[in-house]
């Protein structure tokens, strides 16, 4: 059984004549590492938003672990999928970097001591411990990106869907991120990475999907 399965899925934004995602059928197994690439406007982010249930297809069906995605509550989806949006600013709403990373862990029901331990680990790993009391809103784009990635990685979802995770981040943190993703992938976490950064996904994702004009043009394993 496939983990995420899309069957003839189409989505057109209101007021648009052409679909952003056009009759896409594709499936992802549990624990797969997949890169989704394509030019600006080819429909990658729209596809990701459909896969995590933030958008509903006007045509076609999407299932997660065999069950229609619309039957899941958002917390249920959150336990299975971790989604990093293309714009990290849209995911930041806490009053400190520390609370930003801790928020999801508390929401997940993690015990306080354990949540503190996990937060510290991520802030130290990405070398942003000194930023722990900063207002996330005031951070640089790259720092925001690292905070959002830390917050989602800390939740240990079954599969991570990341929309341009390396955008704006420095090479030092990019290497750390890659090492961490290789590590969690080896332990069974699925990775779906939307990117323009071919070097980053080169030896990280065994499968590459090419999108153009809302369609899948190639799917290479």
Ligand X SMILES: Nc1ncnc2c1ncn2[C@@H]1O[C@H](COP(=O)(O)OP(=O)(O)OP(=O)(O)O)[C@@H](O)[C@H]1O
Residues that bind ligand X (CB under 6 A): 13, 16, 20, 38, 40-46, 86
Binding status of residue 45 toward Mg ion by CB under 5 A: yes
| By CB under 5 A, residue 166 contacts Mg ion | no
Q: Could you tell me the two tokens for 141?
A: 């784009």
Closest separation in Å from C-beta 164 to ligand X: 7
Least separation, in Å, of the C-beta of 11 and ligand X? Answer: 9
Tokens 């779906």 — which residue?
192
**Does 46 help bind Mg ion (rule: CB under 5 A)?**
no
Q: Is 86 in the site for Mg ion (CB under 5 A)?
A: yes
Q: How far is the CB of 47 from ligand X (least distance, A)?
A: 7
Q: Which is nearer to ligand X, 174 or 196 (CB)?
A: 196
Closer Cβ to ligand X, 46 or 63, answer by number: 46
* Interacting span for Mg ion (CB under 5 A) from 86-94, 127-135, 152-160, 203-211: 86-94
**Residue 79 or 207 with smaller CB distance to ligand X:** 207
């Amino acid at each position: 059984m496939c983990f995420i399965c899309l069957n003839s899925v189409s989505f057109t934004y209101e007021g648009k004549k052409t679909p952003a995602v056009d009759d896409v059928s594709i499936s992802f197994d549990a624990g797969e590492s997949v890169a989704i690439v394509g030019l600006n406007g080819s429909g990658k982010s729209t596809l990701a938003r459909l896969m995590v249930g933030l958008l509903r297809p006007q045509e076609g069906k999407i299932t997660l672990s065999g069950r229609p995605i619309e039957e899941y509550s958002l917390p249920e989806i959150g336990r299975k999928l971790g989604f990093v949006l293309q714009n990290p600013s849209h995911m930041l709403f806490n009053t400190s970097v520390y609370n930003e990373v801790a928020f999801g862990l508390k929401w997940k029901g993690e015990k306080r001591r354990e949540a503190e331990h996990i937060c510290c680990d991520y802030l130290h790993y990405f070398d942003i411990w000194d930023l722990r009391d900063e207002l996330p809103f005031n951070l640089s784009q790259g720092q925001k990106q690292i905070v959002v990635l830390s917050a989602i990685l800390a939740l240990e979802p079954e599969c991570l869907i990341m929309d341009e995770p390396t955008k704006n981040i420095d090479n030092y943190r990019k290497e750390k991120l890659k090492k961490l993703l290789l590590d969690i992938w080896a332990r069974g976490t699925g990775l779906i990475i939307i990117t323009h950064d071919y070097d980053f996904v080169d030896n990280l994702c065994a499968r590459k999907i090419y999108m153009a004009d809302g369609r899948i043009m190639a799917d290479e394993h």
